[in-house]
Amino acid sequence: MQILSLVLFAALASADPIVYLIRHGEKPSNGSDGLSAQGLERAQCLKNVFGPNSGYDIGYIMAETPKSDGKRQRPYDTVEPLAEELGLTVDTSCSKTDYSCVADVVDNYSGSGNILICWEHKGLGEIVEELGDDDAPTYPDDDYNWIWTDPSPYTNVTAWTNEDCPGLDV
């Protein structure tokens, strides 16, 4: 019995979270801060994509630290409605270019479920690289719809999945 418990414990302890990475929603064409109407729609859509009835089992959500002047707010605004839906608080403790901070949070995570990271698109490859992929992909400048799947041991993005948000995708 004790041996069985140990085996089970080892199996659970080694179930590292899958990391999913997304870009923030669409930006206004006039260059102002925050999300455009489309970006706000995408944020609502993500409640379905990653919500409680999805297969993603999101247990933790990260977005880059927003600035008090309204800059760097898009990633947070993109996942905040989803976080509310899941009863989670978005972790904004890592700033835009502090990719090792993100990797530390992932490596330290011992909660249940998987981790969703929302960032500026140029940072997504950097985060993947920091996690251990020495040939990280490049997120296309004009796209907003991809979910990257980066399973443990985080050495390769194994899938690009379309968020499939009605009326928004490329």
Ligand X SMILES: *[C@@H]1O[C@H](CO)[C@@H](O)[C@H](O)[C@H]1NC(C)=O
Residues that bind ligand X (CB under 6 A): 28, 30, 32, 36-37, 104-105, 108, 156, 158
| Shortest distance in whole angstroms from residue 154 CB to ligand X | 12
| Shortest distance in whole angstroms from residue 159 CB to ligand X | 6
State the DSSP string of the chain.
-HHHHHHHHHHHHT-PPPEEEEEPPPPPTT--SS--HHHHHHHHHHHHHSSTTSSS-EEEEEEPPPPTTSTT-HHHHHHHHHHHHHT---B--S-TT-HHHHHHHHHH--SSSEEEEEE-HHHHHHHHHHHT-TT-----TT---EEEEE-TT-S---EEEE---TTT--
Nearer to ligand X, 28 or 52 (CB): 28
Nearer to ligand X, 91 or 169 (CB): 91
| Shortest distance in whole angstroms from residue 52 CB to ligand X | 26
Nearer to ligand X, 34 or 51 (CB): 34
